[in-house]
Amino acid sequence: MTPHYEKGTGFGISCKCRFYNSDVTRFLSSVGVPKGDKMLTPFSVPDWIKRDPRLSRAYLIVAFQCEGWIHKRRHFDSYAVAIHMNKSEQFLSNGISFAQELKSLLKTFGVTTTNLQIRPANLRKDGNKTKSITFAIRTNSLPAFYEKLGFGLCSAKSEKLARASAIGNKRILARQNSIQLFDNSISMDEIEQIKFPATGDGVLSKLFGYLVKYGGVSRDSRQFYITSSKEIIVDFARIIYEKFGLRIPYAKKESKMNYRCRGCCLAIGKWFKSQGLLSGKKRLLRSKIPDWIVSNPSNYDEFLKIVG
């Protein structure tokens, strides 16, 4: 068979390789390859692939090589690894079923995933409205995805995945002897919805007291943390979620009595520093208390209850 190369479409530089052979086309169709536009055609993972782990692995690798993506999260020290597909509204249920099949296959390799995200996509030139179907690999499953599957021949994605896997391994180790603060099964939408509180209430004054007495902010602003008793750790995590919308999933055990609670979010770390919290314990203890705490007696009382 003679390949015919053409210029491809889509984002970036791509090529198209086309073959003309009706016998091969009929064979591919008979074993489950969809014909025509995949957005307008119902299809599923063939049973002969699902029954054989070796074939399932090859299928998943190519699926993520072509339709998967990975990027560094804007506010967090972590990566998002996900797969995305568009389907016309009339075949949306089929697209959801296909995505569920992929999720089930991933689970057989020890890779857990988030819930499906269904969003409006675009209006095609032929008048068909499409929906976007997306799901992500959970951070704790990135090492398993990296070791057993990955992005195949796409070296750029694979290099990023190696770094993502290392972060995932660190989190798995950190969860040993830890306390669970929040369920980590949150959507990709929620994890990016960081909010910034208006300064001026006693709860936020209490949070500043926790950071001054028990922790601080890292030099690069990517992390903020405290080390204290379980009761204080739980209260600290509650305030962070209440005021910023960030769920810190767990706190690592440091000693018989203390746990270390670490939040990883550059935007929040920068916000703390903008309010006068400096890096390093000595500098932090010498830093100026924010005016919105000092000028308000009730706020100042909440702050002093913590720092003494």
Is a pLDDT exceeding 60 seen at residue 18?
yes
Per-residue pLDDT of 202-261, as tens digits, reads 889 999 999 989 988 998 888 899 999 989 999 999 999 888 888 888 888 888 788 888
Neighbours of 20 (CB within 10 A): 10
Is a pLDDT exceeding 60 seen at residue 80?
yes
d(CA 274, CA 233): 23
- Give the sign of the dihedral formed by CA 103, CA 106, CA 108, CA 113: negative
pTM: 0.65
Examine domains 38-174 and 188-307 and report if their fold is the same. yes
Nearest to 59, CA basis, from 72, 50, 71: 50
CATH code reported for the domain at 188-307: 3.10.28.10
In degrees and rounded to multiples of 5, residue 15 shows phi and psi of: -125, 160
Strand order in the sheet with 79-88: 68-72, 79-88, 129-136, 117-123
For residues 44 and 124, the model is more confident at 44
Domain residue ranges of the chain, discontinuous segments joined by +: 38-174, 188-307
Is a pLDDT exceeding 90 seen at residue 148?
yes
Token pair recorded at residue 135: 């799901």
Residue 223: CB partners within 8 Å, gap ≥ 6? 77, 217, 262, 263, 264, 269
Is a pLDDT exceeding 60 seen at residue 188?
no
For the domain made up of 38-174, the CATH class stated in words is alpha beta
- Give the sign of the dihedral formed by CA 220, CA 137, CA 190, CA 39: positive
Tell me the average pLDDT of the chain: 85
